[in-house]
Amino acid sequence: LLRRTSGGINKGFEFAALRNAAGVFYLNANWRIEFPREVKIAGTIFQYERRQRNTPEVLRARGPIIEPIYVVLLYQEKNLGISYEYSIPATTKVPQPDSYEWMIGNYEECSQSCGGGLQIRIVSCIRKSDGDIVVEELCDSLLKPAVNASCNTEPCPPGWHIGEWSACSQSCGGGAQFRLVFCHLLKEGNIVMIPDEMCEGPKSVFMRVCNIETPCHEWVPGEWSECDRTCGNGSRTRTVECPWQGETLASSLCDADKKPVEFESCTLGPCEEVKWTVSEWSGWNRLGLSSGCKEDATALNNQTFHLFGPLKQHLGGKHFADDDDVQHEVLLWMRQQPKEFYAAEIGALIKRWDKCINIGGDYAEK
């Protein structure tokens, strides 16, 4: 077999290759061009010759072969055609070369009854000698008939387009749903909107209420926990549930935008510790206090105790004329606080001191 590349038909970038009917290549496979050599193919020895560029490739084989062998062309640029020649023994009867043609099937039913549809048919490449279907590459692609065709291209009569309802705008307590409703006609496979007056019959509603019978569930917050710090900045928490008829429902059934907070910051005043020293009371005789009040006041006066943040905040920004005014303000504030707020010994003194009250600026026994 001789494949010629002379005569200006191609530029020498094409090579012959050999394969069997199953597509298995024996020579120049996978775009890898082999050196000239002898190779055993289909029960015989093939001699592959390739001399210089732009010179013919030569394939020789004595035969016989035990399977059909196809000679194909590998090309990298546009194929402008090839010239070749081959020789066989004179005693061999030469069969007529195979020829191929396109076989056309019937069109399927149109995809649309009006407004432009599509019909599809099967087009196959067959061998003329036996009618067997072969690969399409054996037929001329330029002569391949169309596979599909337009059908029922006349416009459809006007009609109402009714879309699907949207999701309800509210999950409870009443919401709204919407859908598209418009007059249209189908033309060339496309939906064309036209004025509503061109459609027959009443126009369907495009909005409706929904979830009106589904009651909305309200969030129920629990009690706040104690602040997790005794002074300074801390935090506290509470439970927030979505209940219904004594049961806790899924959180999705209550409005997430209206859910009360479950966490917040808290503070019980600064953690700095301030120590106050109380001086002796002056003017006990002037106040006319009983001996019991004097003893209690003196005992409280002699105590050195820790003053926490709330009292510091209470006294902050106030102006006092003298120490007596400061002591007076401290005692009044302390009487207003829970007894357990202070140390045990201070609380006991405050409880005893409570038998004296302020009357017109002076202290007297109850």
The pLDDT tens digits for 85-137 are: 777 777 877 777 788 999 999 999 998 888 888 999 999 999 998 899 998 88
Return the pLDDT at 244: 72
What is the model's pLDDT at position 183? 92
The percent of residues in the chain predicted with pLDDT above 90, rounded, is 25
Confidence at residue 304, expressed as pLDDT on a 0 to 100 scale: 34
Averaged pLDDT, 190-207: 90
Which pLDDT score is estimated for 310? 66
Pick the most confident of 81-95, 131-145, 247-261, 274-288. 131-145
Please give the Cα distance from 5 to 120 (Å, whole number): 43
pLDDT of residue 223: 93
269 near 310, Cβ under 8 Å?
Answer: yes
Between 299 and 199, where is the model more confident? 199
Give bridge partners of residue 84 from the DSSP assignment. Answer: 3
The residue that leads in pLDDT, 250 or 239, is: 239
Predicted pLDDT at 213: 83
Query: By the 8 A CB rule, do 238 and 225 touch?
Result: yes
In contact, 113 and 153? CB cutoff 8 Å: no
Q: What integer pLDDT is reported at residue 235 of this predicted model?
A: 92
Sequence length of the chain is 366
| Predicted pLDDT at 92 | 76
User: What is the predicted pLDDT for the residue at 145?
Assistant: 94
pLDDT of residue 10: 45
Count of alpha carbons within 13 Å of 121, Cβ hemisphere only? Answer: 16
Is 70 exceeded by the pLDDT of residue 288?
no
* HEC sequence for 170-212: CCCCCEEEECCEEEEEEECCEEEECCHHHCCCCCCCCEEEECC
What confidence tier does 6 reach under pLDDT thresholds 50, 70, 90?
very low
* Spatial distance between the Cα atoms of 272 and 345, rounded to a whole number of angstroms: 22
The whole-chain average pLDDT of the chain stands at: 76
3-state SS assignment for residue 298 = helix
